[in-house]
Structure 1
């Protein structure tokens, strides 16, 4: 790990269009919700899908002393006991890859909220075990459903 002296502005200058095409996550952007509404909707979706929120990490708070103009960026660690049991019963080292991460961050001058889920098909594929590949596909589908629920929670009929 590097130890940089002085503050960096790298994040505020980053090209966020790249974040929509990475092989290890699936990303959606929302322009009709605030950061707070998005966080609440993601947490509600996690609960509704029967997942457990096992941790929360505020990236901006953690890096605030080292970065200027850091947009809000939250990592939610999500797990599901049955999935975790299947993973480590097939490969004990899979514990290094869970819980899954869901990130919520401000992009585009803080006018767009971006939510990314881990693409478990990609991140868990290195295990090369049929049972884990099946669990990875199921987990990815569940996490994609989470993305589908975020904006729907604000629709008023």
Structure 2
């Protein structure tokens, strides 16, 4: 069994170069906006696209009692009502995979903001139903478009 020191060391040595190469997340990095700007933009674009933010977990605050070298990290749980209703009407067991998760974190000595969105085509792909595959494909496209709306809004060339 691991002791708490082992757990602290593993989190302390997190390698963010790995985070861009996961099969279950769509990752984009931004170097021209702050964490707060990215978080505000993310909340705004989710609302504009009809997504509800079901909850937010400030992981940094949650783990503040541990001696972990972790930058600012928030996990958002988001749903789109029509998509969720369609999903669950086709497979009620998909309740274990909703809401979708989006994480936003500071990396690279605060010079980059990374936003990771659950790749629902992968995570929901465990269902054998073609209806679920179509729902995941549509939602996946909507979630990818959210990333296109983050970044600087006013700049001169």
TM-score (norm. length: structure 1): 0.92
Distance 1:13 1:63 in 2: 15
Distance 1:112 1:54 in 2: 26
Where in structure 1 do 4 or more consecutive aligned residues deviate above 6 Å?
Answer: none
Distance 2:9 2:47 in 1: 36
Distance 2:16 2:128 in 1: 31
Could you tell me how far 1:62 is from its partner in structure 2? 1.2
- Contact preservation (8 Å) 1:12, 1:71: no
1:34 corresponding residue in structure 2: 34
Match of 2:60, SS state, is helix
Return 5+ residue gaps in structure 1 as ranges: none
Return 5+ residue gaps in structure 2 as ranges: none
- Contact preservation (8 Å) 1:26, 1:119: yes
Distance 1:8 1:133 in 2: 38
Distance 1:4 1:21 in 2: 29
1:139 corresponding residue in structure 2: 139
Distance 2:135 2:49 in 1: 16
- Aligned pair count reads 155
1:5 corresponding residue in structure 2: 4
